[in-house]
Chains A and B, each alone.
Chain A
């Protein structure tokens, strides 16, 4: 066929080469990221899975999940056999064989037993902080989206909330320490000496002396940290509810609050839950905000042990997985005997966040399927 001007010709066009190069670079980046992530997760699973999983039924080492953290004692006995025993079993062994039959003893803190304390602590912290953040965040979002008149002030408020999302978590930690641990108000019969302000109420005192390092102080700090994300996302979800629902409800003689409760909030719920799933993982994973406000490296009892009622639980300190991982990595020397606790904790932590997210997503999808429009 004649094609004198050669507008369409065979062969590789130089544009195509450029396009291919761009695609290759972009693709390489994406796959590179995936590869790095896979390497990290692979390493954690490779070393962590054997701690938690075992070849015979029930395939999970439940002791690691249900036992408290203990010091690991490693020593030789008289015949030269090497033993590694957690503190509780070690004392029994010493009683049976006598202290004189122990040689070359080394101890590794936090490396024996299980990690039930940190698991429970993280679960409580995450749950409580998400509940607090949802309550305050959704309230604020409802105000911003449904009541506030758009003006310069509200725009500043929105900007401030967005900026809050970018504040480093250690700053939140210090904020929580200054506000919740040292200055938050409590009702008490005997105000502490470092109380900033104690107001007598007759039967008791209203004292600004802080909540000390406690579950409630830590949860409040974490809640502050995830609040901006929850507010912003909730506001977007509320705005996405069709205006027609509001108008229809109002036109039927419903009050504004009734309309929000029955015709706006339920339909914004899936979006709000999606945002809280992301926040959940973040709250569970942060170390800095809890370091000063709640977390302790070692604790021998669960928060409810020795606590007087639910208030006592809120006032207790807890261990938390991210802080525990930090302690294991930074405070104790790494050796063959500590690796079990180190990799095991990280692996369990990953599983736990995965579980949280999965449950939240299932919950969200159920809500969503029920409230579709």
Chain B
């Protein structure tokens, strides 16, 4: 499917005419018989931070994991209707190679998960997987990625230390650096700060704001203050549907739907 044949949904969300990085059109998704996403339609603009908020089980993480086909790992999980268009291709189509896709769409997980190897090897893992073996090239990628993740100054003297010896916040930033090392266009973050203390969280949030200029970032979060702090646009999910999707300012200051207001003001959820 090419983007030309798709209905243009950009205007509905009040987006500018610039090509969105991810376009979700009428998406239905099920785990076996259980439908978890219904008619999800939204455009995620490039080089902005888009936050998904909503109560647990509302499908926001599922949608995120659709963007790089991580749901392929779950038996019985499949897109039953609609399309997800990234770079002109419908990646929900089974024929799109998930390996290729994931090189364009990186992901940072809820629980920081560096490999129990050296810091250097962690960052170099992606490039090495792609076949880069020259020491100089790897050194350069590692340094650039770690600098971008604002971690270089903290670890430059101990790149050979085991990554699991770092603090939680450092480990999560290392995971972000590792993701950036394969040079994706889009970075998905699944509650990246839920296992971190407030100080480490602040550093990661700072980093997210910095990274916006290089990457399109989609972040799932349970922390509404976090969504308000880091995101440009926010989508509120409830029971598998997008209730409201607009600029973060609009969602938090003047939501259109009552349910959104109830949620962000803490009346349920």
Which residues 145-161 of A sit at the B interface, judged by CB distance below 8 A? 149-150
* Alpha-carbon distance A108/B110, docked complex (angstroms): 73
Asked if B106 CB lies within 8 Å of chain A CBs, one says yes
Known: A267-B116, A373-B164. A252 touches B178 (CB 8 A): yes
Contact A249–B75 (Cβ < 8 Å): no
Contact B102–A250 (Cβ < 8 Å): yes
Asked if A187 CB lies within 8 Å of chain B CBs, one says no
Asked if A42 CB lies within 8 Å of chain B CBs, one says no
Residue of B nearest to A256 (CB): B99
* Alpha-carbon distance A150/B76, docked complex (angstroms): 11
Known: A254-B129, A371-B116. A248 touches B109 (CB 8 A): yes
Asked if A280 CB lies within 8 Å of chain B CBs, one says no
Contact B125–A249 (Cβ < 8 Å): yes
Which of A52-60, A123-131, A239-247, A289-297 binds B?
A239-247
Contact A247–B109 (Cβ < 8 Å): yes
Contact partner, A252, options B73, B98, B179, Cβ 8 Å: B179
Which residues 165-212 of A sit at the B interface, judged by CB distance below 8 A? none
* Alpha-carbon distance A224/B236, docked complex (angstroms): 57
Contact A251–B115 (Cβ < 8 Å): no
* Alpha-carbon distance A150/B181, docked complex (angstroms): 35
Q: Return A101 CB to nearest CB of chain B, in Å.
A: 75
Which residues 314-373 of A sit at the B interface, judged by CB distance below 8 A? 371-373
Known: A149-B75, A251-B179, A262-B125. A244 touches B111 (CB 8 A): yes
Contacts of A248 in B (CB 8 A): 109, 113-115, 175, 178
Contact B107–A251 (Cβ < 8 Å): yes
Asked if A253 CB lies within 8 Å of chain B CBs, one says yes
Asked if A263 CB lies within 8 Å of chain B CBs, one says yes
Contact A263–B113 (Cβ < 8 Å): no
Asked if A258 CB lies within 8 Å of chain B CBs, one says yes
Query: Which residue among B100, B103, B113, B130 has the maximum number of chain A CB atoms within 10 Å of its CB?
Result: B113
Contact partner, A245, options B103, B115, B129, B162, Cβ 8 Å: B115
Contacts of A263 in B (CB 8 A): 115
Asked if A255 CB lies within 8 Å of chain B CBs, one says yes
Contacts of B181 in A (CB 8 A): 252
Q: Return B52 CB to nearest CB of chain A, in Å.
A: 17
Which residues 259-275 of A sit at the B interface, judged by CB distance below 8 A? 262-263, 267
Contact A250–B73 (Cβ < 8 Å): yes
Contact A244–B75 (Cβ < 8 Å): no
Q: Return B116 CB to nearest CB of chain A, in Å.
A: 4
* Alpha-carbon distance A302/B82, docked complex (angstroms): 71
Q: Return A327 CB to nearest CB of chain B, in Å.
A: 50
Contacts of B1 in A (CB 8 A): none
Q: Return B165 CB to nearest CB of chain A, in Å.
A: 10
Contact partner, A253, options B70, B126, B164, Cβ 8 Å: B126
Contact A245–B113 (Cβ < 8 Å): yes
Q: Return A256 CB to nearest CB of chain B, in Å.
A: 8
Contacts of B126 in A (CB 8 A): 252-254
Asked if B48 CB lies within 8 Å of chain A CBs, one says no
Contact A253–B100 (Cβ < 8 Å): yes
Contact B125–A255 (Cβ < 8 Å): no
Q: Return A55 CB to nearest CB of chain B, in Å.
A: 50
Query: Which residue among A149, A252, A262, A372 has the maximum number of chain B CB atoms within 10 Å of its CB?
Result: A252
Contacts of B103 in A (CB 8 A): 252-253
Contact A251–B116 (Cβ < 8 Å): no
Contact B99–A251 (Cβ < 8 Å): no
Contacts of B130 in A (CB 8 A): 253
Contacts of B113 in A (CB 8 A): 242, 244-245, 247-248
Q: Return A324 CB to nearest CB of chain B, in Å.
A: 45
* Alpha-carbon distance A250/B178, docked complex (angstroms): 12
Residue of B nearest to A258 (CB): B129
Contact partner, B102, options A242, A253, A371, Cβ 8 Å: A253
* Alpha-carbon distance A249/B182, docked complex (angstroms): 12
Known: A251-B70, A251-B107. A373 touches B116 (CB 8 A): yes
Contacts of B100 in A (CB 8 A): 253
Residue of B nearest to A248 (CB): B113
Which residues 3-43 of B sit at the A interface, judged by CB distance below 8 A? none
* Alpha-carbon distance A373/B115, docked complex (angstroms): 8
Contacts of A262 in B (CB 8 A): 125, 129
* Alpha-carbon distance A343/B6, docked complex (angstroms): 85
Contact B116–A247 (Cβ < 8 Å): no
Residue of B nearest to A244 (CB): B113
* Alpha-carbon distance A373/B181, docked complex (angstroms): 22
Q: Return A179 CB to nearest CB of chain B, in Å.
A: 36
Known: A244-B111, A245-B115. A251 touches B129 (CB 8 A): no
Contact B129–A252 (Cβ < 8 Å): yes
Residue of B nearest to A150 (CB): B75
Residue of A nearest to B175 (CB): A248
Contacts of A372 in B (CB 8 A): 116, 162, 164
Q: Return A153 CB to nearest CB of chain B, in Å.
A: 14
Contacts of B99 in A (CB 8 A): 253-255
* Alpha-carbon distance A306/B210, docked complex (angstroms): 73
Contacts of B114 in A (CB 8 A): 248
Contact partner, B109, options A149, A244, A254, Cβ 8 Å: A244
Contact B70–A252 (Cβ < 8 Å): no
Asked if B61 CB lies within 8 Å of chain A CBs, one says no
Per-residue contact bits, chain B 105-136, to A (CB 8 Å; 1 contact, 0 not): 01101010111100000000110011000000
10 extra interface residue pairs, beta carbon distance < 8 Å, beyond A249-B129, A252-B103, A252-B106: A149-B75, A244-B113, A248-B178, A251-B102, A252-B179, A253-B103, A267-B116, A371-B116, A372-B162, A373-B116
Pairs A–B under 8 Å by Cβ, sample size 18? A150-B75, A245-B113, A245-B115, A247-B109, A248-B109, A248-B114, A248-B178, A251-B70, A252-B102, A252-B106, A253-B99, A253-B100, A253-B182, A254-B126, A263-B115, A371-B116, A372-B162, A373-B116
Ordered nearest first, which 8 A-B pairs have the shortest CB separation?
A244-B113, A253-B103, A373-B116, A251-B107, A252-B126, A253-B102, A254-B129, A248-B113
